[in-house]
Structure 1
Amino acid sequence: MEMEQIAGKMRERLSGSGFTGSVKFDCGDAGVVLIDGESVSTQNAAADCTVSLAKDDLEAIVAGELDPTAAFMQGKVRADGDLSLAMRLNALL
């Protein structure tokens, strides 16, 4: 799955959610997905919270095959910044 496809799935789920704040999913060389409120893009920019993880793990989270909290506890995901945003987003994805 391409980063734009992942962003598209996130865009669908966030539409009308009222989510505020910005979270960047940084998959290194594979690219980024930036959520800013209900807007989702693959542009790299500063965010209130940056979540670093492998692209495969991001795909699994979006597909519902990997629980974001479990991934964090297993060390597959690192988060820097406002962790409360990542936790709120977890409920929407």
Structure 2
Amino acid sequence: MMSTADTVKSMQARFNADAAKGLDLIFGFDITDAEKYALIVKDGTCELQQGENPDANVTLVMDSETLAGIVSGETDGMQAFMGGKLRTEGDMMLAMKLSELFPA
């Protein structure tokens, strides 16, 4: 199984720069059994930051198994949310943009 860091890096590698043109957003990831990360999306670029970013527009809170499942496509993010395995803090509607910005 991939480490949490590798899972987040794999998201960054699938980044869709065209979908991010004109955006200035910070997605926080609070992985409850591992580290915290932020993906900073700014006008077609994506930067990975380790640690918590207090300026995150939305933070997704989940465990590393849920994150790995969502990133691999084995777990549907909406189902994880409805099942209580994923929760959001901040602008929940921005979380919906993740599938456009980081397609499977």
Once residues 92 and 80 of structure 2 are traced to their aligned partners in structure 1, the CA distance between those partners, rounded to angstroms, is 15
More strand per residue: 1 or 2? 2
SS at match of 1:65: coil
* 8 Å contact kept, 2:33–2:63: no
Cα RMSD over matched residues? Answer: 1.6
Unaligned runs of 5+ in 2: none
4+ residue segments displaced more than 6 Å = none
Once residues 34 and 66 of structure 1 are traced to their aligned partners in structure 2, the CA distance between those partners, rounded to angstroms, is 21
Aligned residues: 93
TM-score (norm. length: structure 1) = 0.87
Once residues 3 and 86 of structure 1 are traced to their aligned partners in structure 2, the CA distance between those partners, rounded to angstroms, is 19
* Aligned residue runs from structure 1 range 12-27, under 5 A: 12-16=13-17, 17-18=19-20, 20-27=24-31
More helix per residue: 1 or 2? 1
Once residues 6 and 42 of structure 1 are traced to their aligned partners in structure 2, the CA distance between those partners, rounded to angstroms, is 13
TM-score (norm. length: structure 2) = 0.79
Which shifted more, 38-47 or 62-71?
A: 38-47
**Residue 84 of structure 2 aligns with which residue?**
75
Identity of aligned residues (%): 29
**Residue 63 of structure 1 aligns with which residue?**
72
Q: Whose radius of gyration is greater, 1 or 2?
A: 2
Q: CA deviation at 1:41?
A: 2.7
* 8 Å contact kept, 2:7–2:71: yes
Unaligned runs of 5+ in 1: none
